[in-house]
Amino acid sequence: MDTLTFQAFLFNSINKFDYQPALTCVDTDETITYKELRANAEEVASQLIRLGVQIGRHVAVLIPNSIENVVYNLGVSRCGATVVPLNDKLGVREIEFILRDAEPEVVIMATQKHVESVLNYQKEAGKNNVTVIGLPGFGVEYPEEFYSIDLDDKKGSVAFPVASLEDLAIISYTGGTTGTPKGVMHSQQGFGSSLMASCMEYPYDDQEKVLFCTPIIHAAGVLLQRSLASGCHVYIMKAFHPEVFMQIVQTERITSTFVVPTIIYRLIDEAKKKSYDVSSLRNINYGSSPISSERLKEAFEIFGPIFRQQYGMTECSIVIARLTKSDHLFAYENNLEVLKSCGKPCMLTQIRLVDANGRDVEPLQPGEIAVKTPSVSVGYYKRPDLTAEAYRDGWFFTGDIGKLDEQGYLHIVERKKDLIISGGFNVYPAEVERIVNQHPKVAMSACIGIPHNDWGEAVCIFAVLRKGETCKKEELIEYCKERTSIYMVPKEVFFETSLPLTMVGKIDKKELRKPFWEGTARLVN
């Protein structure tokens, strides 16, 4: 087994910690050891192999935050198949698109709201071509077409396939600028490199207790795997609740966590209402957007100088640059402007800033951020056009416009791509506009992100109504709630008689943004 693969590195690592607690589900108070984790994951792998799953086949995992989520994801990796992790918070339409695009031959699920979508996919592909495994214990009613796995029904050992460096470890779906998700392909070598670099740059020891309260895919998923590779005791919350979070930190003596700035703000507010002992916390890792300088001061008073920010994206196995605890402390004591940066490049990561012709820009000038790292993905699934555009000459072109200051800190100035990051979630305006424009009273619309103290950016819609129509913003917001993921629902709605246009007749979003972003050093938050 090649020790540089994700499959080998992770399983060789967790094999060292047999009787230590591996996972605790906060909601059910269930705990399993590393030995149980490995045994259960290998039983999942064995049963998948008996179903015909092989290296190179796709297996989708649609399970809420839970011990089962981790076990089944690891089981798919153990049998050498390609994991397609799905966020159970996604809307029906997004899940349906991803299933059709990824074409998994097995879907493992435990969410009621997506049963019909998965069943429709199975019928379209043919029952003989797709097996759906419905997990018990989640209160889901499954149709008779679905299969079940009993991990207690051991059927004897099988030989586990050994993945090569070039095999695909995972296809992670991220949104597209046109509203359709893109499958980001990570090789065993690339994802393994990411895991190893993370363990080296920010080492954990086997006495760490790490709490996860965000969906354990993408960034949280990578950090969870890093935690398991280090022998940590991982605590999982099905959903974030400030009071429960603080209580768990206090009673279990949690040492590390991963959150987004919006969650930090909720924790600050909770700590002001009630006193908690959070002295055990040594690391609060956060990502998706910078933290408000004013609120960081409040956070330091409650938690101390224990914050670490990471800037990254799915295509780069998450992390590109980091703002360390020392950086945060320096900013707090000397220069809060440092907090507006996303830090300095990570281990094994090179960064260039380039102009529209791909040439390096002059010092202190803005340019598109290009990244070279062993952990970069190998392209977009079924999208050679987008792959050729973004992956060039060994560099990945991020679509983010940044600049490096005199101290070498990377600042995000603007997004080349039409993207909003609200509360840690990627929101693509084209998708929001598509839904709003389907409203019978709306003639046209434009979606932008506007500054928001809690969410970083809030989704904002400018709508032009059809002639003779009237509409309240609550009606439009409710319409969106019924048709998309909650984080894509507009928080602000403005009705206009017309929208500004560019010289070529496109909606001028820069003009719409101006009143909200005037006086700021950048056009993202």
Distance (Å) of CA 476 to CA 420, 430, 437, 462, 466: 19, 16, 10, 11, 14
Higher-confidence residue of 140 and 500: namely 140
Question: pLDDT confidence of 174, banded at 50, 70, 90?
Answer: confident
Q: How far apart are CA 83 and CA 104, in angstroms?
A: 9
In a domain, 82, yes or no: yes
Say what the pLDDT of residue 44 is.
Answer: 95
Residue 522, pLDDT score: 55
Give pLDDT, residue 112: 95
Read off the CATH number of the domain in which 484 is found. 3.30.300.30
Domain boundary among 125, 150, 175: 150
Q: How far is CA 205 from the centre of its chain?
A: 24
64-73, 79-88, 202-211, 497-506: least confidently modelled range: 497-506
Is 498 among the domain residues? yes
Last residue of a domain, one of 120, 150, 180: 150
Q: Using an 8 Å Cβ cutoff, are 403 and 523 in contact?
A: no
How many helices and strands in the chain, by DSSP H and E? Answer: 15, 26
- Domain, as residue range, for 441: 420-517
The mean per-residue pLDDT over the stretch 446-468 comes to: 89
Cα–Cα distance for residue pair 405/394, rounded to 1 Å: 25
Interval 126-132 mean pLDDT: 90
Mean pLDDT of 424-437: 82
In the chain, the number of structural domains is 2
Q: Which whole number is the average pLDDT over 16-21?
A: 92
Which residues have C-beta within 8 Å of that of residue 297, sequence separation ≥ 6?
A: 332
360, two tokens: 């390096």
Q: What is the mean pLDDT of residues 146-170?
A: 86
Phi-psi region of 408 (alpha: psi -120 to 50; beta: other; left: phi over 0): left
Q: In this model, does residue 178 exceed pLDDT 70?
A: no
- The better pLDDT of the pair 425, 230 is held by 230
444 found inside a domain: yes
In this structure, what DSSP letter does residue 74 have? H
Q: What is the C-alpha separation between 173 and 98, in angstroms, rounded?
A: 7
The C-alpha atoms of residue 149 and residue 43 are separated, in whole angstroms, by: 10
Buried b (16+ CB within 10 A) or exposed e, 392-410: eeebbbbbbbbbbeeeebb
Q: Provide the residue type at 216 as one letter.
A: I
Question: Which pLDDT value is given to residue 393?
Answer: 92
Residue 505 has pLDDT above 60, yes or no: no
Predicted local distance difference test score (pLDDT) of residue 502: 61
Long-range contacts made by residues 450-454, C-beta under 8 angstroms, separation at least 24?
450/492, 450/513, 450/516, 450/517, 451/516, 451/517, 451/520, 451/525, 452/422, 452/491, 452/525, 453/265, 453/292, 453/295, 454/262, 454/265, 454/423
Structure tokens at 393: 């000459």
Q: Please report whether residue 456 resides in a domain.
A: yes
Q: Is the pLDDT reported for residue 78 higher than 80?
A: yes
428 occurs within a structural domain: yes
Specify if 265 maps to a domain.
no
Domain boundary among 111, 126, 150: 150
Q: Mean pLDDT in the chain?
A: 89
The CATH number assigned to the domain holding 114 equals 3.40.50.980
In a domain, 27, yes or no: no
Exposure of 122 in the CB half-sphere (CA atoms within 13 A): 23
